[in-house]
Structure 1
């Protein structure tokens, strides 16, 4: 019976794998990767529940509870950093559960998945940090060559140099310093470990937030501005944001014959000849968007003001507050922009425009630093507690050594 069910669920899964791309090809939004991932997850969960039922146990309810907790938190408010932590807790509990299920069933599929996972984890332990260093140096060279030598473009290089210095220091400090001094200098790796967890949670929710699927019922699409070339020309990065909004505009128009208005948001910088939103409007008109379908917000200087001032314009144009809106920006900036929308009391989620892969590591580091600064008091408290704990351990070790 077990083998028959495994074959049946495998056939059903494969049928879905081939049907989903063809099904999505008939839709205005042809993205099929999210639905393939969702289909695999559903089939796998059904299979795992079947294995549990065969054992007359119901331990699957434990990871299911964490999954339901994540879904509740996420759909209640997508724009929260804690959602990344909750999802990663679900992953940890889920992996632990699957490990116990493997021991209890010795199921061939679980053995294969465990083997693949084990190989990946082993490689990460053996060469993970060194592979990361090589990637960071390579990425830094590419970014500096293609994007210039500004401080914002040096983040991956600075991180790579910092990690290299840390590895060298960590290697020699254990051989040179006494135990109590090693504990004192252990403050740095513990703080690094803390921020790596924070970064991983941020990256997790940033990736999940990319899967937004807004309905074609929007009244407005806000396009968030960025700098102009020579103070007057829309750069490629900003052009991607505008084109993403235009894509949604045309898709909703085809689906409902009721397109949303596009609200270009961006003021005039000190080194710019015109407001960013004016240049963005001209760009969209040049791509075929009717002028009457475009609104402009010309006063904002940052993303928070983008959201606040755009909200005021939409309320005035709509004649109320019950409008529906989304915003577009580059995918690396999407989640932080969502946080700013929340701060502005604007009920809007975002859709992200694609960004060149080489630009993403540097961009996500920049976003992470900005989010850390948004919650700097919380992180200062955590770092202080780590430092205090290590200082107390170092003092205890020092006095134990001197009194022996």
Structure 2
């Protein structure tokens, strides 16, 4: 019963906080804990029925999962390496595009080192190191699952067709041209614009983005030209051309909206992989805006989601530094104790 109460507590906590504000990283954490304890409660409940068939099924599933885990980890490493090669082929050999390749190689490298340790070296210090590393990986794996759950749930956000402003977040230009990734955001904003205009009134579109070092014009200027070419009236387009990151996109757009209409309703548009982190920045900037997303090519998603996850880890870096430092100190203490003994 205790497991059931714990599972219900975390699920209820998730539901309450999600209703209050979908833009919380803690939502995914509580949902992950709720799902974990629900699985434990169900498994324990099936075993506790004293039905030998159900107990055998639960134990069989458990051992099947344990046996599959190594293959899943190897498959993950190989899949990330292949995705990294595809990213390089289609997007160019830039460092951000190599992320899945590096992570995949790191996973495969650790697997080889672990096998070498348990079959040949059998070194006590390496065993302690791998134990600590396993705890660190488990910590980040838990937060990765929480992030993916939060991101997935947030995709189903459906703002009302009564928005005064639609903020389109910039994502970089090629010279003075809008690349496909940014075009998908603008196209999503256009669809929302016409959908709302047909039922209520036409919102104003704020194109948000400054000029980067390799860009000929500001992102806002290129985005405005794109919208005008697609038939959006120029008087319905507002430019925010000073921001250099997502937080500034939100802050500077908020200033524009406050000057024009203090009590306004707004949404923001970005790609699906970036939607949840953008919502965290909107909350940080004091905007009540929720987001809608445009689709991204499937091959691009693993790399993009990893980058988003790393960015969120950096947002809450001190929490993770404390956890990792604690594990590191425990490993050092264990090694020192082993040497002393």
Judge conservation of contact 1:332–1:364 (CA < 8 Å) in 2: yes
CA distance 1:180–1:352, change in 2 (3 Å): same
Partner of 1:339: 280
Judge conservation of contact 1:181–1:394 (CA < 8 Å) in 2: no
Partner of 1:248: 192
- Greater Cα offset, 369-378 or 236-245: 369-378
Alignment of 1:70 onto 2:14: yes
Partner of 1:172: 116
Q: Give the structure-1-normalised TM-score.
A: 0.77
Partner of 2:253: 310
Shift in Å, 1:376: 1.7
SS in 2 for 1:347: coil
Partner of 1:276: 219
Query: Equivalents in 1 of 2:215, 2:146: separation in Å?
Result: 37
Shift in Å, 1:86: 0.2
Larger radius of gyration: 1
Alignment of 1:353 onto 2:281: no
CA distance 1:177–1:196, change in 2 (3 Å): same
Shift in Å, 1:352: 1.2
Give the root-mean-square deviation of aligned CA atoms.
2.6
Shift in Å, 1:160: 1.0
Query: Equivalents in 1 of 2:40, 2:129: separation in Å?
Result: 34
Q: Among 127, 131, 137, which residue is 1:182 paired with?
A: 127
Judge conservation of contact 2:184–2:271 (CA < 8 Å) in 1: yes
Shift in Å, 1:271: 2.1
- Greater Cα offset, 77-86 or 324-333: 77-86
CA distance 1:181–1:162, change in 2 (3 Å): closer
Q: How many residues align?
A: 337
Question: What are the Cα deviations for residues 7-31 of structure 1, in whole angstroms up to 9, with x where unaligned?
Answer: xxxxxxxxxxxxxxxxxxxxxxxxx
Judge conservation of contact 1:267–1:276 (CA < 8 Å) in 2: yes
SS in 2 for 1:352: strand
Query: Equivalents in 2 of 1:120, 1:249: separation in Å?
Result: 50
SS in 2 for 1:211: coil
Alignment of 1:143 onto 2:81: no
SS in 2 for 1:315: helix
Q: Among 41, 44, 51, which residue is 1:97 paired with?
A: 41
Question: What are the Cα deviations for residues 181-221 of structure 1, in whole angstroms up to 9, with x where unaligned?
Answer: 43145433332222222222112211111111111121111
Q: Give the structure-2-normalised TM-score.
A: 0.90
Partner of 2:325: 384
Partner of 1:84: 28
